[in-house]
DNA sequence: GCCAACGTTGGC
DNA sequence: GCCAACGTTGGC
């Protein structure tokens, strides 16, 4: 099992969109960056994906979802009506891929970027690097542990 | 294959 | 809204 983190602007797709229909399978499409695409192609069914909210009021990791379908051609690249349309993509040779995701859990509180920056496990992670623009990044098991611990801390505080 | 110009991302 | 950092494009 591998772990990943994917960025999204919550206006477009947030952890709440997953949470409101937990059984729903949501297609993660529209990724138009080669490095991010390459990571998506490495994803396997069952992998866990941390959902990161960017460019919003509460920047940080908001919850967890699971890969339920590995990479397949992103249909939006062929759709001329889509903002993600790519005229250079041919159906027999697609450039971009999508994966399908399903809800696991929503964190009680978003783990703020500022908190992630203080985690030793994330010292050299691209997520906390200045100017980082990668929307899909791998997460180590140590980093996963650090995020889950932080997420559960809030839960225990509530009790 | 280089590199300047441009568009986009994303934190603040 | 600002601006730094980055990826992509296109002329040469």
Across A26-46, average pLDDT: 96
- Report the candidate in A47, A37, A52 with the shortest Cα–Cα distance to residue A68: A47
d(CA A111, CA A71) in angstroms, rounded, equals 28
The pLDDT value recorded for residue A122 is 96
Instruction: Using the structure, give the distance in angstroms from the CA atom of A55 to the C1' atom of C3, rounded to a whole number.
Output: 15
- Reported as a pLDDT band with limits 50, 70 and 90, residue A156 is low
Compute CA A102 distance to the chain's CA centroid, rounded to the nearest angstrom: 11
DSSP letters of A23-36?
T-EEEE-----HHH
The pLDDT value recorded for residue A101 is 98
What is the residue-averaged pLDDT of chain A? Answer: 94
Domain ranges for chain A, please list them. 3-158
Looking at the domain that runs over A3-158, which CATH code has it been given?
A: 3.10.590.10
Instruction: Using the structure, give the distance in angstroms from the CA atom of A70 to the C1' atom of C3, rounded to a whole number.
Output: 37
Cβ atoms A83, A126 nearer than 8 A: no
Instruction: Using the structure, give the distance in angstroms from the CA atom of A84 to the C1' atom of C10, rounded to a whole number.
Output: 22
Across A112-135, average pLDDT: 94
The pLDDT value recorded for residue A153 is 85
The pLDDT value recorded for residue A80 is 86
The pLDDT value recorded for residue A157 is 60
Task: Enumerate the nucleotides of strand B whose atoms come under 7 Å of any protein CB.
Answer: 8-12
Instruction: Using the structure, give the distance in angstroms from the CA atom of A120 to the C1' atom of B1, rounded to a whole number.
Output: 40
> Which residue's C-alpha is at the least distance from the C1' of C4?
A131
Task: Enumerate the nucleotides of strand C whose atoms come under 7 Å of any protein CB.
Answer: 4-8
Across A61-88, average pLDDT: 94
pLDDT 10s digits, A75-103: 999 998 888 999 888 888 899 999 999 99
Q: Which nucleotide is nearest to A7 (CA to C1')?
A: B10
The pLDDT value recorded for residue A158 is 55
For residue A54, the tally of other CB atoms under 10 A from its CB is 12
């Amino acid at each position: 099992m591998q772990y990943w983190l994917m960025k999204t602007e919550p206006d477009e797709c947030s952890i709440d969109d997953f949470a409101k229909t937990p059984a729903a399978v949501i297609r993660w499409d529209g990724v138009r960056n080669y490095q991010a695409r390459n990571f998506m192609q490495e994803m396997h069914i069952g992998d866990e994906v941390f959902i990161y909210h960017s460019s919003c009021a509460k920047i940080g990791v908001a919850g967890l979802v699971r890969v339920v379908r590995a990479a397949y051609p992103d249909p939006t690249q062929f759709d001329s009506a889509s903002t993600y349309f790519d005229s250079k993509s041919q159906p027999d040779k697609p450039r971009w891929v999508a994966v399908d995701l399903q809800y696991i859990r929503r964190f009680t509180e978003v783990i703020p970027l500022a908190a992630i920056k203080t985690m030793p496990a994330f010292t050299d992670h691209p997520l906390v690097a200045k100017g980082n623009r990668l929307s899909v990044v791998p997460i180590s098991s140590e980093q996963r542990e650090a995020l889950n611990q932080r997420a559960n801390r809030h839960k225990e505080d509530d009790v």
